[in-house]
Amino acid sequence: MSYLPARFALIGALALSFGVNAASNTPPPSIDALFKNAVTSPTVPGISVAVADANGIEWAKGYGYADLENKVPMTAKAKLRIGSVAKVMTAAGLMRLYQDGKINLDKPVTDYVPAWPKDKPELTVRQLASHTAGIRHYKEGAKEFLMNRHFASVTESLDVFKNDPLLFKPGSQFSYSTFGWTLISAAMEGADGKRNFKAIMRQEVFGPLAMHDTVFDEQYHIIPNRVRPYSVENGKLINSPQTDHSYKWAGGGIIASASDVSRFAVAQINGRYLKPATSKLMFTKAKLNNGNNVDVGIGWFIGFDEYQASKKYRDNKAALAMMKDMPHAVMHSGGSVGGITMTILDTDSHRAVTVVKNVDGDNSVNVFLLALKTLDYYHQHPNG
Residue 360: HSE in the Cβ half-sphere, 13 Å Cα cutoff: 18
Q: What pLDDT shows up at residue 382?
A: 81
pLDDT, tens digit, 9 for 90 and up, residues 175-219 = 999 999 999 999 999 999 999 999 999 999 999 999 999 999 999
pLDDT digits (tens, 9 = 90+) for 330-379: 999 999 999 999 999 999 999 999 999 999 999 999 999 999 999 999 99
Residue at 149: amino acid letter: R
Band of the pLDDT at 384, cuts 50, 70, 90? Answer: confident
Is 129 within 8 Å of 90 (Cβ atoms)? Answer: no
CA distances from 310 to 202, 238, 349 (A): 36, 30, 26
pLDDT beyond 50 at 18: no
Statement: residue 2 has pLDDT above 70: no
pLDDT of residue 140: 84
> Which residues have CB under 8 Å from 119's CB, separation 6+?
none
- pLDDT for position 23: 47
* 299 CB-contact burial (10 Å; exposed 0-12 / middle 13-18 / buried 19+): buried
Beta bridge partners of 96: none
Arithmetic mean of pLDDT, 2-21: 37
> Do 347 and 303 meet the contact criterion of CB atoms below 8 Å apart?
no
CA-based end-to-end distance of the chain:
27
Nearest 10 degrees: CA dihedral of 33, 80, 335, 289?
Answer: 110
Q: Name the average pLDDT for the chain.
A: 93
HSE-up of 227 (CA within 13 Å, CB side)?
A: 41
Report the distance separating Cα 354 and Cα 342, nearest Å: 6
Q: How many whole angstroms separate alpha carbon 189 and alpha carbon 185?
A: 6
Orientation angle between helical segments 29-38 and 367-380, nearest 10 degrees = 170
Q: Which tens digits make up the pLDDT trace of 89-126?
A: 999 999 999 999 999 999 999 999 999 999 999 999 99
Q: Cα–Cα distance between 224 and 257 in angstroms, integer?
A: 11
Question: Which pLDDT band, with edges at 50, 70 and 90, does 37 fall under?
Answer: very high
Give the percent of the chain with pLDDT over 90. 91
E strands in the chain? 46-53, 56-67, 72-73, 80-81, 214-216, 230-233, 236-239, 254-256, 301-302, 329-336, 339-346, 351-357, 359-360
Supply the pLDDT for residue 383.
78
Q: Which residue has the higher pLDDT, 293 or 19?
A: 293
Q: Residue 11 pLDDT > 50, yes or no?
A: no
The reported pLDDT for the residue numbered 32 is: 98
Q: What CATH number corresponds to the domain at position 11?
A: 3.40.710.10
Instruction: Read off the pLDDT of residues 247-267 as tens digits, 9 standing for 90 and up.
Output: 999 999 999 999 999 999 999
Cβ neighbors of 268 (< 8 A, separation 6 or more) are: 88, 92, 274, 279, 282, 283, 345
Dist CA 94 CA 125 (whole Å): 9
Say what the pTM is.
0.93
pLDDT for position 175: 98
Residue-number span of the structural domain to which 209 is assigned? 5-380
- Cα–Cα distance measured from residue 303 to residue 339, given in angstroms and rounded to the nearest whole number: 23
Instruction: Report the distance separating Cα 367 and Cα 230, nearest Å.
Output: 16
The model's confidence at residue 25, banded by pLDDT at 50, 70 and 90, is confident
Domain count, the chain: 1
Residue 36: count other Cβ atoms within 10 Å of its Cβ.
Answer: 14
Euclidean distance between CA atoms 143 and 135, whole angstroms: 18
Helical pair 86-99 and 179-192, crossing angle rounded to 10 deg: 30
Question: Quick one: pLDDT at residue 22?
Answer: 42
Q: Looking at residue 24, what is its pLDDT?
A: 56
Strands of 46-189, DSSP E: 46-53, 56-67, 72-73, 80-81
- Cβ(208)–Cβ(16) below 8 Å: yes
In sign, the C-alpha dihedral spanning 113, 116, 121, 127 is negative
In the structure, what pLDDT confidence band is assigned to residue 12 with cuts at 50, 70 and 90? very low
Give the three-state DSSP class for 5. helix
Least confident of 18-32, 253-267, 288-302: 18-32
State residue 319's pLDDT score: 97
